[in-house]
Structure 1
Amino acid sequence: MFVFTLCLFLWSWLSSIHGLEFRYHNSMEMELYLKDINRRFPDITHLHSIGQSVEGRELWVLILGQHPREHRTGIPEFKYVGNMHGNEVVGRVLLLQLIDYLTSHYQSDLLVTRLLNSSRVHILPSMNPDGFESSARDCMYTVGRYNKNGVDLNRNFPDAFESNTDRERETEVTAVMDWLKTESFVLSANLHGGAVVASYPYDNSNGGSELQRGQSISPDDDVFIHLAKTYSYSHSEMHNRNNCQDLQDFTQGITNGYYWYPLPGGMQDYNYVWAQCLELTLEISCCKYPPEAELPGLWEANKPALLAYMQQVHLGVKGVVTDSYGKPAQNAVVQVVGRNNLCPFRTDRNGEYYRLLLPGNYTITVTYPGHKALSQTVQIPYGPDAFSALTRNLFLQKSDYSASATTPLPLLCTTLGHTESNSDTLLPGVFTTLLLLLIQRLLLS
């Protein structure tokens, strides 16, 4: 304990003089840095672990915001996840640099100050610290990609488009799934390497109606394209199509995940389908493990994009659904007409809902047991400029009928919804899933 305290003191002293170095910090150094930041900025940071890796390394998450220790009504939750593949290391470096930038510029930089005052930001620099520690400094090979058990973490999540019921969930994946149950995340991105492109859902398909012209199209495709373009055009090079040799030419620096290549068990689809959190996969470097001399340039190329993407958490509409007794309505189904999500979006434990939507007119419907169905049309402005989505609180009236006035949830949602605690609950097979999707669309049409 004394040695650790001494190391923390030395780290604090050195970082206060030199700032965070552009180099690859090992797991112990990263832990020292995060604890030092938490000690130096206690009012705007909170550090906690969401679990451990196979080898027992902590999965540290730093929360930044005006109220970092607890959720506040109307303040959306945002997250970045890095180093899911242990040998794709640039994301880990950039997220540590982002932490350094946000904490050092709070109250002196208007954009940073407004971001942290209007949202709660969660940063997991390394989801796969075991893989990082075993990685080889190589641009293209896979040494260190997998976790200690030799599993690709980005193929290990439950998948809505296939039956992967016999797959054991890795400890790092279970930690993230449990994390998603504790916070109502609205927007997210996970950082990878080996290409320069912003990829968006769906990553997978079972050949249903979502498969269109080689792409797997989600109900929020327009929002995802906007989010991907926000990152690619805020990046210094990403929007300039192909930035890496011998790779696909990505128009405008974006791609539908499935169109690029089918990916079963991916984290971004899991976030979107079950945790109602819109997530992108950001490929941010041609070389997975570039020389340290390239890190400052990679930071400068990505910094404006990382900040611009965070600001998009304020798209659309948000609010609180209240029942006939004036209490927050938990698990009320909040749907946007014309967007039939595989798992309908629901209010959280505080009765809050968040829907990322582009400017325009939308009809929102709310169903809740024992209450009349509510339908309202809203005109949504562009919220990011004001650092707030449109606020529309919704008030329900008691139903005249004893039956529940609500739309049945598809089996895959109730089986593996983000309120469940068992990470290996069975999913329906492909045929059953298609049947359930057909039933849901008939009910909502």
Structure 2
Amino acid sequence: MIPCSPCYLVVIFLCFIGCYAFPKHFVDSDKLLLASADNQFQFTQKEQSNRKPEPFTFKHHNNQELNLVLQDINKRCPDITQLYELNYRSIRGWPLTVIELSDNAGRHEFLEPEFKFVANMHGNEVLGRELLLKLADYLCEQYHKNDEIAYLLNHTRIHILPSLNPDGWDDATKNGPGQDWLYGRANAAGVDLNRDFPDLDNVAYRSGDKTDHLFNEKLIDHNMQPETKAAVEWILSNPFVLSANLHGGSLVANYPYDETPDGSARRYAPSPDDDTFRHLAQVYARNHKSMASPTRPKCEPDEEDFGKQGGITNGAAWYSVTGGMQDFNYLGSNDYEITLELGCEKYPSPDSLPKEWEDNKAALIEYIWQSHIGVKGVIKDSRTGEAIQGAHIKVKNVTSGRNQEIDHDIVSVASGEYWRLLTPGQYEISVTKDGYEPSTKLIKVVNEPHKEAQRVDFILTPSSDEFALESMASQFPYGMDRNDPQMLKYLPYIQPNGENIPSREMELESASP
């Protein structure tokens, strides 16, 4: 029982505020509140602020230690890191803490792609959690030593969430690490978080042609878990370009779609960006020490031989998943996400962690670089020079005469920026927006390694109707609103330069006998 002292009342009050405050907020590492599974704070803010950063050590960090590791990295590299929490905490009160790494941490920089890694959404799959802690430590350590790492951080905003399911980690660990294949997989309410996202695959399959930005709150048919809500809001409120979700239990890079279109247990379900997703999966598999090896052993006797497939698989071809996070990213936002199964053991021994890091280090870093493939740019209004939000970037692959529409649009963000991941080849890129004339460019994509994506800007010209509406504001001084439907009947008679055109009725009238 907790003593009811004034100190504890203050802590409980702070916990309540921290758990239920809705807006996403950046937090100073010295003020980050760490709760145990019983919602008791183990360290006071003063004790935390007085701690000296400790060097990273390979081990299975508990939830309190995980947050302290992130704090220590932030203290060692305050110029390139920022800590923040997602909008919701776990059911038991653990913060879902993200460490951001960039040369200008805490803010989006113009045309800089945003990248994210997420691990431990299944609480008993723990390797990704430790690899992401080490990755953050490594990027911090190497920033002033390694020119390539410095370039990567200077041109990419990287978000790392080591654990989306800290409650499940607690359950799996208390049950005995690795003792049960399923225990701890779900969150504290017994829900598998990777089946809890809005099922946008079903929406896409029913629509038949639209495969992007499908999220609508009306589509939510169940009460999502707080961890899922936190992830959904995070995904939809940031201009993420690329991400990966780290799991365990097999060794393969899994790409969309995850769900079959006909409800079958397994069937290859290609997304419109199948070429790009295969490339992304191959990048990770080929840079991993053994994932793409055709001679490596299978994890299970009855499992597919992923090594002989190059270490990659289409998700639905493996087994169909409904309500997964991977496809939600692709179908609900501009983000491209794959799922990384990092090893046969879901809860590997602590002694194996240094080797696992060496096996995955190059793959993790090379995958981040993929946020710079394809093209990027800004879309502006030809008259005002202002950025255009909500423009659709449409792509047709015309490499070697393919003439293939990629039926998945990227949409420009508030600053007019866009990022479009593409493999090398020739493409027709078109930009459309209501009220503007479309613009199309023929682009050759090269993807020079470890360089920024080539920049392709678009200047859109307002359509003639838009010009007419603007000019009418001065020609009809009746206080008529430019959006008034009554104005539409005048449109055919107003030139874009504002000059009147005789109406067709007037012309016929004058031509009659």
Instruction: Report the Cα distance in structure 2 between the residues aligned to 1:288 and 1:238, rounded to whole angstroms.
Output: 16
Contact 1:220 1:339 in 2 (8 A): no
Q: Name the residue aligned to 1:187.
A: 242
Contact 1:314 1:389 in 2 (8 A): yes
Q: SS of 1:197's equivalent?
A: strand
Query: Unaligned stretches of 5+ in structure 2?
Result: 1-10, 12-41, 204-218, 397-403, 469-513
Contact 1:334 1:365 in 2 (8 A): yes
Q: Name the residue aligned to 2:368.
A: 310
Asked if 1:257 is matched to 2:315, the reply is: yes
Shift of 1:288: 0.3
Tell me: higher relative CO, structure 1 or 2? Use CA pairs within 8 A at least 6 residues apart. Answer: 1
Tell me which stretches of 4 or more aligned residues in structure 1 moved more than 6 Å.
none
Asked if 1:387 is matched to 2:451, the reply is: yes
Q: SS of 2:115's equivalent?
A: strand
The 1:200/1:403 distance shift into structure 2, 3 A limit, reads farther
Q: SS of 1:161's equivalent?
A: helix
Shift of 1:167: 2.2
Q: Name the residue aligned to 1:299.
A: 357
Contact 1:157 1:169 in 2 (8 A): yes
Q: Name the residue aligned to 2:167.
A: 130
Larger Cα-atom Rg:
2
Contact 2:267 2:318 in 1 (8 A): no
Query: Unaligned stretches of 5+ in structure 1?
Result: 405-445
Correspondence 1:165-244 to 2 at 5 A = 165-207=220-262, 214-241=267-294, 242-244=297-299
Q: Name the residue aligned to 1:20.
A: 56
The structure 2 residue matched to 1:49, chosen from 48, 73, 85, is: 85
Could you say what the CA RMSD is over the residues aligned between the two structures, in angstroms? 2.1
Aligned partner letter, 1:162: N
Shift of 1:128: 0.4
Asked if 1:78 is matched to 2:78, the reply is: no
Q: Name the residue aligned to 2:429.
A: 364
Contact 1:11 1:32 in 2 (8 A): no
**Structure 1 length-normalised TM:** 0.85
The 1:194/1:7 distance shift into structure 2, 3 A limit, reads farther
Contact 1:371 1:397 in 2 (8 A): yes
Contact 1:273 1:341 in 2 (8 A): no
The 1:3/1:157 distance shift into structure 2, 3 A limit, reads closer
Q: Name the residue aligned to 2:19.
A: none
Shift of 1:327: 0.7
Shift of 1:189: 0.2
Shift of 1:104: 0.5
Contact 1:156 1:266 in 2 (8 A): yes
* 1:136-173: CA deviation from partner (whole Å, max 9, x where unpaired): 31165111100011000000111123377422211111
Instruction: Report the Cα distance in structure 2 between the residues aligned to 1:140 and 1:190, rounded to whole angstroms.
Output: 22
Instruction: Report the Cα distance in structure 2 between the residues aligned to 1:340 and 1:112, rounded to whole angstroms.
Output: 33
Q: SS of 1:74's equivalent?
A: coil
Asked if 1:399 is matched to 2:463, the reply is: yes
The structure 2 residue matched to 1:142, chosen from 182, 186, 192, is: 182
Asked if 1:345 is matched to 2:403, the reply is: no
**Structure 2 length-normalised TM:** 0.74
The 1:188/1:403 distance shift into structure 2, 3 A limit, reads farther
Contact 1:84 1:127 in 2 (8 A): yes
Q: Name the residue aligned to 2:24.
A: none
Shift of 1:386: 4.2
Q: Name the residue aligned to 1:374.
A: 439
Contact 2:373 2:452 in 1 (8 A): yes
